[in-house]
Chain A
Amino acid sequence: MRRYGSCLLLVLVGAAVLRISLFSELYLRYVQAGLRPYLVVSGAVLVLLGSAMAVVRRTTHDEDDDHEDHDAHDDHDDHGHHHGPAGPRVAWLLTLPALALLLFPPPALGSYSAGREAAQQAAQGVGSFPALPAGNPVELTLGQFSSRAIYDSGRSLTGRTVRMTGFVTHGDDGTWYLTRLLVTCCAADATTSKVEVRGAADGAPPVDTWVTVTGVWHPKGKLGTDGAWPPVVDASAVRQVKQPADPYEKR
């Protein structure tokens, strides 16, 4: 264990990274999609490095024993950095995220994170937007819908039926929102975008349910002001769906 500890640790971290990036799409709960190739490469490199170093340690068994004694003496002078052949002790902290990912991958952020963060609007001025893509209903992300609803001087949403997917959060006095978190790099930088849903036949679904809402934009407030936020959709259909593979929206 002492001899192979650090090799084992490398393999463990590599396996955890591969489990979430290569063998499943769980990595989307933590980081954005573009990071996948880098995660796969890093995982593979770590597993290979750990195995290679284990083989090297095995074949150079005796030689290493001499070095270890030598190192042990050196360490007394070098206060900044003492650790023996088992590798740096602080490295064992890596088992924490690695085992968590291997055994119980933490869930995607949901209503809790959305609720405690004052939802922010993207900083941009009022202006015209490119035409909406064809399609009836047209599929939009919550981010696209919000920015068009709040900032589009051309009012391109008028008269279009839109379809959006997100999870449910509740406001005060019975309002409910279709909510999605936006992630740029990793879940630590998540910001919220939400759209108030009105006119759903069955009332508000339970918090954290994933739903697809079809409806039309309900204009409110003056463009580019706080009064226009959060935007409102008049729902014609609310359908319960499974949580999408990528729980976040790309900014």
Chain B
Amino acid sequence: MENQRTVADGLRIVALGVRVLVYVVLGGAALIAIATVASVLGPTLALDLYTPPVAAWWTVFTAVAVQGVPFLLLGTVVSAAIGAFVPERVFTRLLPRSPALAVPVAGVAGVVLPGCECASVPVAGSLMRRGVAPAAALAFLLSAPAINPVVLVATSIAFPGQPKMVLGRLVASLATAVVMGWLWARFGKAEWLRLPKRQAEGAPRGLRAFGAGLQHDFLHAGGFLVLGAAAAATFNIVVPRSVLDLFTGSAWLSVLLLAVLAVVLCVCSEADAFVAASLSGFSPTARLAFMVVGPMVDLKLIALQTGTFGRAFAVRFSSVTWVVAVVSSVLVGWWLL
């Protein structure tokens, strides 16, 4: 019996050794082949393909990804901390029970997260997992990147002597967030939302859960950030800015055009005021629309929302948000500016 087992063990070790040997030889041969081909063809091909537009694409692509990393990490740290350390009941106790009231409260609470839009998506996801009504979490998702102090200060620096622009941005963004929250509370369907069920009841809590949640959320959202960065870089290189000059004549077209531009350019909400200020040919209302739409709907954000909440949600939610944001900035612009 004993002998048989040692023989069997020995055979297994030999078999394992042979397998490792085969893998190493095959893998090594493949690697050498790839390396040879790449080193011969690579440089010629790379030089041909590395034209100025391609180089600019890579730079913009890496730039969007690099500048998203700290904010995404901040967002996922907050979201993992909520998941691992905050008890279920806290948020349900803090927020009013009726969604109609919880939505505006959550919208105003967006002031506390000083980041750009990359940070708010994972946080909203973890709020929902902690039992916050989706309508309230979505109001927070939309308002946080638009009305936090960092963004408002940047806006006042970009538009010196025009405090109405800052006020207009605050009012229009908050209105959009609250209206979207109410719309979701009234018409939203739970099956559109596909939240990961990773942290269901009985999941581990504490430091290990924090680490695992952080790792998962960051990698997941990071992958979608890269997708969004690629889309933003492509539009940045493909769409010439001179297109803008064609539309400055008509007030209505210019509002719609800047609202579309905000979606494709994916400028971070802390910087978009400066970009809006530089679009000097456009009416103040059109520039307000650019700043209201940008933090709520853009390609990078749609990619992140698809990753966190599912595609069915991201498509519906983003398109309705875009319409509501445009309407609310037109109304506020007509009233204030």
Contacts and interface: CB of A to CB of B under 8 A. Distances in A.
A113 B55 CA distance: 10
B70 A42 contact: yes
B62 A101 contact: yes
B73 A42 contact: yes
In this complex, the member of B59, B229, B236, B271 whose beta carbon has the largest number of chain A beta carbons within 10 angstroms is: B59
Contacts of B226: 93-94, 96-97
Contacts of A191: 275, 278
A88 B307 CA distance: 10
Given A52-B211, A188-B232, A88 B219 contact: yes
Contacts of B185: none
A81 B245 CA distance: 43
A217 interface: no
Contacts of B64: 186, 188
B208 A56 contact: yes
Interface stretch (B20-28, B191-199, B328-336): B191-199
11 contacts: A7-B215, A80-B194, A93-B226, A94-B223, A96-B226, A108-B59, A109-B60, A117-B241, A185-B67, A186-B64, A188-B233
B98 interface: no
B317 interface: no
B240 A116 contact: yes
Contacts of A89: 223
Interface in B5-62: 52-53, 55-56, 58-62
B160 interface: yes
B103 to A, nearest CB: 24
Nearest to B236: A188
B323 interface: no
B241 A123 contact: no
A6 B220 CA distance: 10
A120 B70 contact: no
Given A80-B195, A107-B55, A188-B60, A39 B227 contact: no
Interface stretch (B136-144, B172-180, B251-259, B262-270): B262-270
Contacts of B307: 88, 90
Interface string A116-139: 111011111000000000000000
A120 B223 contact: no
Contacts of B245: 118
B66 interface: yes
A217 B177 CA distance: 49
A124 B278 CA distance: 9
Interface of B: 52-53, 55-56, 58-67, 69-70, 73, 77, 160, 194-198, 208, 211-212, 214-216, 218-220, 222-224, 226-227, 229, 232-233, 236, 240-242, 244-245, 265-268, 270-272, 274-275, 277-280, 307, 310
A49 B196 CA distance: 22
A188 B215 contact: no
A88 B222 CA distance: 10
Given A90-B224, A101-B62, A122-B277, A78 B55 contact: no
A106 B63 CA distance: 9
> On chain A, which size bracket covers the interface?
35 or more
Contact of B56 (A39, A41, A78, A113): A113
A189 B244 CA distance: 15
A81 B223 contact: no
B247 to A, nearest CB: 13
B63 A31 contact: yes
A10 B63 contact: no
A107 B59 CA distance: 6
The main secondary structure of chain A at its interface with chain B is: helix
B66 A97 contact: yes
A35 interface: yes
> Which are the 3 A-B pairs with shortest beta-carbon distances?
A80-B194, A185-B271, A90-B223
Contacts of B212: 53
A100 interface: yes
A251 B59 CA distance: 19
A23 interface: no
A124 B160 contact: yes
A13 B69 contact: yes
Q: Chain B CB within 10 Å — which of A56, A89, A90, A107 has the most?
A: A90
A205 interface: no
A29 interface: yes
A189 B275 contact: yes
A112 B58 contact: no
A96 B279 CA distance: 33
Output the residue of B56, B63, B272, B279 with the most chain A CB within 10 A.
B63
A106 B58 contact: yes
Given A49-B211, A185-B270, A91 B220 contact: yes
Contact of A188 (B53, B267, B274, B310): B267
Nearest to A123: B280
Nearest to A75: B197
B223 A187 contact: no
Nearest to A67: B204
Interface in A52-94: 52-53, 56, 74, 78-81, 87-94
A108 B278 CA distance: 21
Contacts of A79: 194
A41 B211 CA distance: 17
A251 B277 CA distance: 12
A89 B227 CA distance: 13
Contact of B69 (A42, A90, A93): A42
